[in-house]
Amino acid sequence: MYFYAARQPILDKDKNLFAYELLFRDSIDNVFPDIDGDIATTKMIEASKFNLGIGEFTANKPAFINFTLETLSLGYANMLSTDEVVVEILETVKPGKKLLAICKELYEQGYTLALDDYEHKKVWTHFFPYIKIIKIDWKISTIEEIKEVKQAIVNFPDIKLLAEKVETYEEYNQAVELGFELFQGFFFAKPEMVKTKSLSPSQMAMAELLYETSKPELDLMSITSVFERDVTLSYKLLRYANSPIFRRRSEVSSIKQALVTLGSQELKRFLGLMFAVNVNPDKPSELINSAMARAKFCELASNDISAPVDTSIAFLTGLLSLIDAILDEKLETVLEKLPLAQEIKEPLITKKGALAELIQLLEFIEHAQWDKTTILMKKLGIGKEKVIKDYNEALAWADEQSQMTNEK
């Protein structure tokens, strides 16, 4: 049985990854709001315990999971360890003695409790000693309502405020000023401040290599020449080629040898990752992780759609779909500067064609827009089992690459 889950990042004030919220569906055909919360949580627990393993799905970061009064009463939270879950009490749960007793017990057992989509009512103050996080919907809450919540928790300094549905850097900055410490939404995947700047020689070298490797036939002489002009990139190539994951019998000691040994596909992945990770190291790691997940998802899914496309082109297109956010510049302006194949530029600029639709499909999954996901899957001619398999594999691969990059 396949379980469908979207994972949405939650960042701290420094834009470091704090946790993920998991939005699970047992079937992509089901639209989330139409399904009973108890069923949703039950399916999620089954998935995490017996099929997925939450730590595997969240790169060992805590998972915010929605609970109803019923699923809390049945002890589902206790099926998960205290370090892998944040027990998120749905806004539909009414405060009462039963809920208070459950919260007190979970708190004493070491669980972190959060209130979802909080709207202040005096009765909730009885729960505050056991609550660590209060989530506020940024889109529908007024400044006055937020200040009211802040006043209500003034005697509970351990409670953190989390702003939900933060979609722009402007909203993020406003939330920081209001005292929020955690942020959920896709603001980090947008340009922070659009500014025009030239790419460094090293960035241009990587872009040139991306262009060379996106050609149908590799020109080893041209590629070697570009590597020879950049000592840092050459060092990273040799280090990558000698990585233990390839289990080489003998050491790779020259650029040409590295290129031949790696082969076309692995070389393209290496260059794509180097470009994403190094083009703007000040950006949140979750942004780079998202770009890598998109790259892998597009690569995996590109063979299964009704109009198949080259996997290497698909990988680079997915990777560069967030380049505007990575460089804080308009997408069209960035792509003008980069020597890339038209098959990569066109879907990113026009938002048309199979590759553009694959990126759109992934965005729908990220936002847990399951109804739109279903429609687009049918249009692309790709099955739901394959989509979620590709999505899970892409996340796992991106997490693994991020870990390797951080270790270096």
The string of pLDDT tens digits covering residues 261-307 is 888 878 877 887 777 777 777 788 899 899 989 999 999 999 888 87
Average pLDDT over residues 155-176: 95
- Whether the CB-CB separation of 75 and 49 falls below 8 Å is answered with no
Instruction: Report residue 127 CA to chain centroid gap.
Output: 32
350: buried, middle or exposed (CB in 10 Å: 19+, 13-18, 0-12)?
Answer: exposed
Question: Residue 71: what pLDDT?
Answer: 85
- Check residue 33 and give its pLDDT: 38
Say if CB 109 and CB 135 are below 8 A apart: no
Q: Do the Cβ atoms of 77 and 106 come closer than 8 Å?
A: yes
Domains along the sequence of the chain with CATH: 4-189 (3.20.20.450), 201-407 (1.10.3210.10)
Which amino acid, residue 141? S
Report d(CA 186, CA 182) in Å as an integer.
Answer: 13
Lookup result for tokens 């759109």 = 360
Q: Rounded to two decimals, what is the model's pTM? A: 0.81
Helices (H), ranges, 3-153: 37-46, 54-57, 69-73, 97-108, 143-152
Phi and psi at residue 7, to the nearest 5°? -115, 125
User: What are the two backbone dihedrals, phi and then psi, of residue 73, each rounded to the nearest 5 degrees?
Assistant: -65, -35
DSSP characters over 156-216: -TTPEEEEES--SHHHHHHHHHTT--EEESSGGGS-SS----PPPHHHHHHHHHHHHHTSS
Which amino acid belongs to residue 114?
Answer: A
| Tens digits of residue pLDDT in 382-397 | 988 899 889 989 998 8
pLDDT for res 207: 77
Question: Which residue's entry shows tokens 């979207």?
Answer: 6
State the average pLDDT for the chain.
Answer: 85
Q: From CA 294, how far away is CA 311, in angstroms rounded? A: 13
Residues 314-344 pLDDT 10s: 988 998 899 889 888 889 988 888 778 888 8
- Torsions phi, psi of 95, nearest 5? -70, 140
Q: What is the rounded CA–CA span in Å between residue 237 and residue 351?
A: 33
Mean per-residue pLDDT, 30-47: 53
* The pLDDT value given to residue 29: 33
Confidence band for 248, pLDDT divided at 50, 70 and 90: confident
What DSSP element (H or E) covers 225? Answer: helix 220-228
Q: What phi and psi, each to the nearest 5 degrees, are found at residue 264? A: -60, -50
Q: Are 319 and 272 in contact (CB under 8 A)?
A: yes
Query: Which has the closest alpha carbon to 392: 17, 24, 11?
Result: 24
Measured torsion, CA atoms of residues 298, 200, 169, 57, in degrees rounded to the nearest 10: 40
Contact 3, 27 (CB under 8 A): no
DSSP 3-state of 401: helix
- C-alpha 45/C-alpha 403 separation (Å) is 27
